[in-house]
Structures are given as structure tokens and as C-alpha cells.
């Protein structure tokens, strides 16, 4: 049994301790979070996180699945033309997280960038009242790797894979930033932008995908920006890099059900994939002529839709892990 006087003594000691601690806090101020540069340079071992990273465009949301064993490798997964502002399509529509859950590579899935081609634009789009100028290439090659470096991810041991718009962009980023990326993949990308009618087709697609004006991106069709971002033109810069490039036939397959997707959407997915196939076949010839090796995949069935991109990412996975030494 504790005497009342004993309880009072304990209470006085607790009160004194609390007041002393409060005095220290009052003098020193609140404890500040560690600055990013002071965080231990070791990636978390597994787990999922969403972060907001400052950029010239404003805060950019990034969904991250950390490497299973705290490794320093990263795989950037880029979205398509109709990228959403709330979630990356790879996280929403595929099992990419499950595919790489046991691997020592961090999945980096930036959110947003509709119709951006993940490039630095000349100006905001004046057709839809865009307030800021897209600066996606700068974000993906400066602000984002700067942040990831504070969490233990290497600035140089990375791969980048994208679908459709993101496929073309993935190859462009890899070609122009060889110090950052060791491997790249394009799934149903458009890889010959200088082909007759392609620049006009992209202009129409961007108008449909959010009302964006292509002139604000790379300037007029004869502008140098179009050539810089055309895989057919910069193909020689990919020499020596592991590449995974795919496009299906456009014929409906196991992931197609017009009763769910709708007849119009299914028809669109067929035509878009057929165009990507023609572009990718031309790009295959281009790389062969240049003596640039790549792993190509041309499934007999498949349309421009997520189920097939999920399948192709699984096929690309061994190449990616080998290139990054991330098994």
C-alpha cells in the first residue's frame, strides 16, 4: 500500500519533470523534422508511400514502392496520354507493384502529366487555359532524383518504362540522360514521329486528351523540339543500353471485352495499337540498321489497353533487374 504522502511526493516529482521539459521546449522551440539532406542515405526496405515533391510546375505527387531489401535501384513507370491527376495508371490498372514486390528495386510512379510527353514545354497550353508550363523532363531528371537520393536511391542506377505516350518519352529520357538511366522500355509507343501524318495525329490526340495545344510543347511541326523527341531520330544515342520494346497486333485478345469497355473504346484501342505496331516495326528496322540491339516483343493478339501492358512489363522485368543488378 502506498501512503498518501508518498503519492504526493511522486506527483511533485512528475510535475517538476514536466515543467522542466516544458521549459526546455519553450527555450529551444519545437523539434524540427530532419532536413532531407540529413536523412540517412538508405532506402526503406519495402513498403509503399505517397510523397509530394516541389517542382517548377508546383507540387507533384509520386507513388513509391520501396525496394524489398533497401537497394538503391529504381524503375520509373510513366503513364499514357490521358494520365490522371490523382493516381498513376500503373498503380491503378496493373499489378506492377506485385510483380516487383520481392525485388530489390524501387518503383517510382509520378502522377499527372496528361498529354505532356513528359517533356519540358515552351509555354503553357493556351487552348485549355493551362496556368503553368509543363517541365516534366526537368522534374524527372532533377527534382525527383534529388529527392530520391535523400531516401537512398541512386541517381545513376535507374530504368524507365512507359506505355503509349510514356513509351516514346521513356526512350527520349534514356537517350538524353544516359548518366541517369541504364535501361529503358517502350510498350505500344509511337517511335517514328517524323513519319507522314504523325505530327498531325499527335496534335489531334492532344486536343482530344485535355484540349492541349501541341505548339506549346515543341513548337510548330517543323520545330527542333519534334526532332529532339523523335525516337527514330535519336535512336543512335540508345546504343549500348538494354531496351525492351513491344507492340501488339491490334487484334482483340484475352483482355478485351467490348461488353465492359464499350464498342467505341475497343475500336479505338484496336486502331491505336495497329498504328503503334507499324511505328514499332519501323523502329525495329531503324535499330537493326544502326546495329543497336534491343529485345522486341510482338504479341499476336492485343490492343492498346492496360492488361497487355501489364503482361509486357512482366516480360521486361528480367532485363530490368539484370541491368540494375536488382535481383
The active-site residue, picked from 55, 137, 246, 304, is: 304
Which three-class secondary structure string do you get for the chain?
A: CCCHHHHHHHHHHHHHHHHHHHHHHHHHCCCCCCCHHHCCCCCCCCCEEEEEECCCCCCEEEEEECCCCCCCEEEEEECCCCCCCCCCHHHHHCCHHHHCCCCCEEEEEECCCCCCCCCECCCCCCCCCCCCCCEHHHHHHHHHHHHHHHCCCCCCCEEEEEECHHHHHHHHHHHHCCCCEEEEEEECCCCCCCCCCHHHHHHHHHHHCCCCCCHHHHCCCCCHHHHHCCHHHHHHHHCCCCEEEECCCCCCCCCCCHHHHCHHHHHHHHHHHHHHHHHHHHHHHHHHHHCCCCEEECCCCCCCCHHHHHHHHHHHHHHHHHHHCCC
Q: Which residues pair with 196 in a beta bridge?
A: none
Closest CA to 11 of 1, 22, 2, 26: 2
Told to judge if 164 belongs to the known catalytic residues of this protein, a careful annotator would answer yes
Phi, psi of 275 (to 5 degrees): -65, -40
The active-site residue, picked from 137, 188, 273, 276, is: 273
CA torsion 210-257-201-284 (nearest 10°) is: 130
Question: By the 8 A CB rule, do 71 and 326 touch?
Answer: yes
The active-site residue, picked from 115, 164, 172, 186, is: 164
Told to judge if 3 belongs to the known catalytic residues of this protein, a careful annotator would answer no
Catalytic residues, which ones?
164, 273, 304
Amino acid at each position: 500500500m502506498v501512503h498518501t504522502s508518498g503519492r504526493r511526493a511522486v506527483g511533485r516529482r512528475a510535475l517538476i519533470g514536466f515543467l522542466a521539459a516544458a521549459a526546455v521546449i519553450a527555450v529551444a522551440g519545437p523539434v524540427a523534422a530532419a532536413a532531407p539532406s540529413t536523412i540517412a542515405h538508405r532506402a526503406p526496405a519495402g513498403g509503399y508511400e505517397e510523397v509530394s515533391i516541389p517542382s517548377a510546375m508546383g507540387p507533384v505527387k509520386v507513388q513509391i514502392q520501396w525496394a524489398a531489401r533497401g537497394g538503391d535501384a529504381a524503375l520509373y513507370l510513366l503513364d499514357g496520354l490521358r494520365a490522371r491527376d490523382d493516381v498513376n495508371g500503373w498503380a491503378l490498372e496493373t499489378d506492377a507493384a506485385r510483380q516487383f514486390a520481392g525485388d530489390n528495386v524501387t518503383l517510382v510512379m509520378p502522377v499527372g502529366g496528361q498529354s505532356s510527353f513528359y517533356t519540358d514545354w515552351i509555354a503553357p497550353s493556351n487552348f485549355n487555359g493551362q496556368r503553368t508550363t509543363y517541365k516534366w523532363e526537368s522534374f524527372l531528371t532533377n527534382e525527383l532524383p534529388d529527392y530520391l537520393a535523400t531516401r537512398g536511391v541512386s541517381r545513376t542506377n535507374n530504368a524507365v518504362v512507359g506505355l503509349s505516350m510514356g513509351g516514346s518519352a521513356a526512350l527520349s529520357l534514356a537517350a538524353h540522360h544516359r548518366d541517369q538511366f541504364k535501361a529503358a522500355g517502350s510498350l505500344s509507343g509511337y517511335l517514328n514521329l517524323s513519319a507522314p501524318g504523325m505530327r498531325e495525329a499527335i496534335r489531334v490526340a492532344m486536343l482530344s486528351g485535355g484540349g492541349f495545344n501541341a505548339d506549346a510543347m515543341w513548337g510548330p511541326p517543323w520545330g527542333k523540339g519534334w526532332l529532339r523527341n523523335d525516337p527514330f531520330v535519336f535512336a543512335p544515342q540508345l546504343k549500348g543500353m538494354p531496351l525492351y520494346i513491344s507492340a501488339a497486333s491490334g487484334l482483340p485478345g484475352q483482355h478485351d471485352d467490348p461488353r465492359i469497355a464499350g464498342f467505341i473504346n475497343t475500336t479505338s484501342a484496336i486502331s491505336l495499337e495497329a498504328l503503334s505496331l507499324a511505328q514499332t516495326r519501323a523502329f525495329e528496322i531503324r535499330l537493326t540498321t544502326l546495329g543497336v540491339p534491343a529485345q522486341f516483343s510482338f504479341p499476336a493478339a492485343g490492343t492498346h489497353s492496360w492488361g497487355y501492358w501489364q503482361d509486357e512489363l512482366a516480360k521486361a522485368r528480367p532485363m530490368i533487374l539484370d541491368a540494375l543488378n536488382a535481383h
